[in-house]
Amino acid sequence: ELKVEQNPLFLSMQEGKNYTIYCNYSTTSDRLYWYRQDPGKSLESLFVLLSNGAVKQEGRLMASLDTKARLSTLHITAAVHDLSATYFCAVGNFNKFYFGSGTKLNVKP
């Protein structure tokens, strides 16, 4: 079964700092997703990455995909408190989807 590992699981950072969340997966996949989840809420789609070398950016978040290394990164630039949430990566493999355990991000004002 495909495994998805995220690290770190918890991240506490100061506003204005940069950081990267890593997502490794165990077997070939044709697409990778990043989601945000606020406490008690559903999942909000951030990025869908479909090919090797894909890079997408939205505001202070940038996601990239390296299919050869089976690695995706979510880079946070100049963090602000509003980015505090849990971030999940998910991998699509045929008609099944596999989520990581999530990275709980706390940005301190």
Partner 1 sequence: ETGVTQSPTHLIKTRGQQVTLRCSSQSGHNTVSWYQQALGQGPQFIFQYYREEENGRGNFPPRFSGLQFPNYSSELNVNALELDDSALYLCASSLAALAGGYEQYFGPGTRLTVT
Distance CA 38, CA 67 (A): 28
Report in angstroms how near the CB of residue 15 gets to partner 1 at its nearest.
Answer: 25
The helix, strand and coil proportions of the chain, stated in percent and rounded to the nearest 5, come to 5, 60, 40
- Binding residue for partner 1, selected from 38, 44, 66, 82, defined by CB under 8 A: 44
Per-residue binding letters, 63-92, with partner 1 (x by CB under 8 A): -------------------------x-x-x
Q: Does 100 bind partner 1 (CB under 8 A)?
A: yes
Q: Which amino acid is residue 49, in one-letter code?
A: L
Residues β-bridged to residue 62: 57, 75
Stretch that binds partner 1, among 18-26, 59-67, 68-76, 98-106 (CB under 8 A): 98-106
